[in-house]
Amino acid sequence: MSNLIVAAVVGCLSGLHVASWGMYKDAPHEGFELRKYLRSILLGGGIGAAAGRLMPLDTTAPPGFAILFGVAYVVERAMGEIYKTFLRQEDQSKYTIPMQFAVRGKVVRSRVLRAALGVGYFGLMLAMLALLVAYQRWNPTPSLLQIALIASTGGLFSAVGGAWKDAPVEGFQTLKFFRSPALTVLWALLLAQLTRDLVLVTLAATGYTISTTETYKSFLFPNKARGKFAGKPVRFPTMLRLRQRVVPLYIAIWLTVLVMFGYGVSYG
């Protein structure tokens, strides 16, 4: 029971982390919605609890804590992006880059077709995880090189999705495309000090890559509108000041996770 409770708390922390950078970058353009802010936290808590029960993790120990944070992060982001891209019906005129599934920048209008594509996308992700599980059984002690190469597919998957959405509007950016796979490799090599489970390493490394990239884009360039709002006016200027309230909380979560990561390496 203690493992389940801690797992749920870790999941909530990952969701709170996501909600905080999401609010920071979007609130000046969309305003603040408590429902939207809480959504990632609650979803992250549910994902954490499920992962704590289904995965071979002791979240009461530092290694399990650090690994689960990354796993919950990427699963929450995947579920959120699938919903927004393939299922949510929303006026796209407020965006510079369409958030619903689009082909060459043109939104697919058919909700049935988008939903079907979403099912296919979700199935592809499950198939990739199944291949990882099968490979792990065939090779239970992968080398660091194998871990790095396999984990990089998580970052590559994310990069392809980002390029599909952004490139028709912004153009293809080579450095931006390879940033995610490169970061995933670095995080995978660190996570390999905590576990050699390929599924856990790949998921967690991708989650940490997303959190690192979003931290960089959201907080190091606070006055630069994100691509989806490029050229759009700031409709809620008071949020430029109010959003600063989440910064200390965001930093505190990062510090907590990195400390647990460090203890996890020494713990192992």
Reported as a single tens digit per residue, the pLDDT across 172-227 is 888 888 999 999 999 999 999 999 999 999 999 999 999 999 999 888 887 777 77
Confidence of residue 228 (pLDDT cuts 50, 70, 90): confident
Confidence of residue 268 (pLDDT cuts 50, 70, 90): low
Angstrom CA distances, 20 to 161, 196, 198, 244, 251, stand at 23, 31, 29, 10, 10
Is pLDDT at 41 greater than 90 in this prediction?
A: yes
Q: Which of 10-14, 162-166, 177-181, 219-223 has the lowest mean pLDDT?
A: 219-223
Span 20-38, pLDDT tens digits: 999 999 999 999 999 999 9
Is pLDDT at 2 greater than 90 in this prediction?
A: no
Indicate the average pLDDT of the chain.
91
Is pLDDT at 248 greater than 80 in this prediction?
A: yes
**Token reading at 9:** 């708390």
Is pLDDT at 168 greater than 90 in this prediction?
A: no
pLDDT of 86: 95
Per-domain residue ranges for the chain?
Answer: 2-102+109-267
User: Cβ(196)–Cβ(137) under 8 Å?
Assistant: no
pLDDT of 169: 83
Mean pLDDT confidence for 244-268 = 90
Is pLDDT at 267 greater than 70 in this prediction?
A: no
Is pLDDT at 98 greater than 90 in this prediction?
A: no
Beta-strand pair 102-103/106-107 = antiparallel
**Residue 18: which of 96, 90, 72, 84 has the closest Cα?**
72
Span 79-96, pLDDT tens digits: 999 999 999 888 888 888
Helix, strand, or coil here: 103? Answer: strand
Mean pLDDT confidence for 158-176 = 86
What is the sign, positive or negative, of the torsion defined by CA atoms of 134, 118, 216, 71? Answer: negative
**How many whole angstroms separate alpha carbon 36 and alpha carbon 240?**
18
pLDDT of 232: 85
Record the pTM: 0.94
Is pLDDT at 1 greater than 70 in this prediction?
A: no
DSSP one-letter string for 138-195 = H-SS--HHHHHHHHHHHHHHHHHHHHHHHHHHH---HHHHHHHHHHHHHHHHHHTTT-
Angstrom CA distances, 62 to 10, 71, 156, 251, stand at 11, 14, 28, 19
